[in-house]
Amino acid sequence: MLLMNMKRKLAWVLCVALVAALCSPAAMAAEGPQEPAALPQSDLDLGSYYDYLDSRGGLGVRPDAEILIDAASFSSEQNSGAYTTDFAGESTVLWWDKTGSTITWDFAVSEAGFYQLALDYCAVPGYNNDIIIDVLLDGEAPYANVQNVNLRKVYLDETYVDLQDNSFAVNLKGDELRPSLLEQQLWQSSFIGDAKDHYAEPMYFYLSEGDHQVTLRLDEAALVLKSLRFANPPEAPTYLEALATWNGQDSSGYLGEFEAEKSYLKNGLTLFATYDTAQVHVTPSSPKVVNYNTIGKNTWKDIGQEITWEFTVPQDGYYYLAFKVKQYDKTNSYSARSVTIDGQTFFKEMEIQKYAYDSKWYIQCLESETGEPLKVYLTAGRHILGMKAAMDEEYAAILREIDEVSAEMQRWYREIIKITGFNADSGRVSIDTNRDFHLDKNIPGLMEGLQSCKDRLDACYAHIDTMDGISTSGASVLKESSVMLEKLIKKPGKIAKRIEVLRSNISNLSTWAIEQRTQPLTMDKFYVFSPDVEIPAVGGGFFQQLWYRFLMFLNSFTGSNTTVTGSTEIGET
Inter-axis angle of helices 499-517 and 393-420, nearest 10: 160
Residue 428: per-residue pLDDT: 53
Residue 294: per-residue pLDDT: 96
| High-pLDDT (> 90) share of the chain, % | 72
Residue 563, pLDDT > 60, answer: no
Closest to 530 measured CA to CA, from 243, 253, 239: 253
494 CB-near residues (< 8 Å, 6+ apart): 487, 488
CB 295 within 8 A of CB 288: no
| Mean pLDDT rounded to a whole number for the chain | 88
Question: Amino acid identity, residue 21?
Answer: A
Report pTM: 0.86
Q: How many CB atoms lie within 10 A of CB 513?
A: 19
- Which residues face 295 on adjacent strands? 273, 523
Q: Three-state SS for 42?
A: coil
CB 181 within 8 A of CB 155: yes
Specify the DSSP class assigned to residue 321.
E
Sign of the Cα pseudo-torsion (436, 441, 444, 445, in order):
positive
Residue 426: per-residue pLDDT: 53
Select the more confidently predicted residue: 200 or 540.
200
Select the more confidently predicted residue: 479 or 165.
479
Residue 535, pLDDT > 60, answer: yes
Q: Which of 14-28, 278-292, 300-314 has the highest mean pLDDT?
A: 300-314
CB 232 within 8 A of CB 141: no
d(CA 286, CA 274): 15
Confidence of residue 1 (pLDDT cuts 50, 70, 90): very low
Q: Three-state SS for 521?
A: coil
CB 323 within 8 A of CB 374: no
d(CA 414, CA 419): 9
Select the more confidently predicted residue: 216 or 564.
216
Average pLDDT over residues 391-418: 94
Residue 365: per-residue pLDDT: 97
d(CA 299, CA 263): 14
567 CB-near residues (< 8 Å, 6+ apart): 171, 172, 173, 175, 177
Q: What is the pLDDT of residues 111-138, one digit of tens each?
A: 999 999 999 999 999 998 899 999 999 9
Q: How many CB atoms lie within 10 A of CB 551?
A: 14
Confidence of residue 432 (pLDDT cuts 50, 70, 90): confident
Residue 455, pLDDT > 60, answer: yes
d(CA 141, CA 192): 14
Residue 468, pLDDT > 90, answer: no
183 to 180, 292, 303: CA distances (angstroms): 10, 21, 20
Q: What is the pLDDT of residues 66-123, one digit of tens each?
A: 999 999 999 999 999 999 999 999 999 999 999 999 999 999 999 999 999 999 999 9
Residue 425: per-residue pLDDT: 56
Select the more confidently predicted residue: 472 or 100.
100
Average pLDDT over residues 515-524: 96
Inter-axis angle of helices 476-490 and 499-517, nearest 10: 160
Q: What is the pLDDT of residues 325-371, one digit of tens each?
A: 999 989 889 999 999 999 999 999 999 999 999 999 999 999 999 99
- Cα angle 356-358-360, degrees, rounded to a multiple of 5: 135
Average pLDDT over residues 542-566: 68
Residue 40, pLDDT > 70, answer: no
Residue 306, pLDDT > 90, answer: yes
d(CA 262, CA 161): 11
d(CA 420, CA 436): 10
Computed on alpha carbons and rounded to an integer, the radius of gyration of the chain in Å comes to 30
